[in-house]
Structure 1
Amino acid sequence: MPFPPPTAGYEDKPIGDSIIDYLQPRPTVLPYKAPNDLSVAGINEGDILMCEAARPPANGSIAIIAKDSERIVVKLHWHKGKWFAETDFTKGAITDAIEYVALVRHVIKDQLA
């Protein structure tokens, strides 16, 4: 009767399963292609963003907002009772005309760009 290998019972799951579990822990987390650069967060246009719409924003978080049906990746700041959005080119207060779409949880870099 042969002896079992010393690694018996310590086998890893296939990496594909664990990455999907990590990047998409809930069905509410969905992929979204970055429409613009945000160098503060290391996001380039074309990167894949794992976003969660059900999660509320926090100070300093990266989010997707919509203004005039155009979606933009921004860094959010809470200051004196108001939300402010920062992109690579502008900073400003979020008004009623701007809609919060989703919070960015993870970034998958586009290695081919």
Structure 2
Amino acid sequence: MKLGEIAARLGCELAGDGSVGIERVIGIDEAGPGDLTFVANPRYTKRLRTTRASAVILDRKAPAVEIPSLRTENPYLAFARAIEIFYRPPEPPPGIDPTAIIAEDARIGPAASIGSYCVVGAGCVL
């Protein structure tokens, strides 16, 4: 995904090349080419000199950096939202766990997933 697209989805200000390809989101110490990282705490700013990340999420007030950056009021929130773009939690499989309690008149759709010990009351439609 291009950095410019990520900036638009996160509502961040783009500083630098928006055509940079981003493959994953990761902490600054582990980051490499194709990675987006972040720095929210000023004491970690010095690590930007040695990071191999392709881009970084920064506070709007942070000093200019050599790599493309996404500027925002809340770098922690932007980083969390970026993680959601790249890492989707697995969808639970459809079905009803044997321990679930289902009312007789409940209507359960074929794609519904009802987990262990869940209770679906009378008149519910899932």
Could you say whether these structures have the same fold, taking a TM-score greater than 0.5 normalized by the shorter chain as the test? no
Q: TM-score range by the shorter chain?
A: under 0.3
Q: TM-score, normalised by structure 2?
A: 0.23
Higher relative contact order (CA 8 A, sep 6+): 1
Q: Which structure has the highest helix share of the two?
A: 2
TM-score, L = length of structure 1: 0.25
More strand by share: 1
